[in-house]
Amino acid sequence: MKLADEQCQPVPRDQTPLGSVQASELMNDIPGWSLREMALEREFAFSGFPEAMAFANRIADLAQAQDHHPDITISYDKVRLVLVTQRIHGLSRNDFILAAKINRLHSGAS
């Protein structure tokens, strides 16, 4: 099953964050994302502010449905995302699932 087909699951507070080896393996399934300080980051560029806002709003709807929320920064025609599971202060599978779903959302939008 592809990550984008999975659903985010509740993360217990005592769950251990993914290690660097596990995270590196999952990176293969989310092209365009970077692993920085045990967080996932990606920036998307658009032709203008309305397109960037529309994409950010679609991400917000997706994140709410998955109950897993990225940090979103909008700068005119760019949307920058950071994913980390705050509850465990590190990466969980949910971060990679949401990143894959965002990639799918973007490929359907462009």
pLDDT in tens, the chain (110 residues): 799 999 999 999 999 999 999 999 999 999 999 999 889 999 999 999 999 999 999 999 999 999 999 999 999 999 999 999 999 999 999 999 999 999 999 998 54
Helix (H, G, I), strand (E, B) or coil at 26: helix
Q: Is residue 12 part of a domain?
A: no
Q: Is residue 85 part of a domain?
A: yes
Q: Which residues of 71-99 are buried (b: 16+ CB within 10 A; e: fewer)?
A: eeeeeeeebebebbbeebebbbbbbbbbb
Q: Is residue 11 part of a domain?
A: no
Query: At 90, which CATH number?
Result: 3.30.1360.20
Domain interval for residue 44: 19-109
Q: Is residue 61 part of a domain?
A: yes
Q: Is residue 10 part of a domain?
A: no
Quote the pTM value: 0.95
Q: Is residue 66 part of a domain?
A: yes
Q: Is residue 31 part of a domain?
A: yes
Q: Is residue 14 part of a domain?
A: no
Count structural domains, the chain: 1
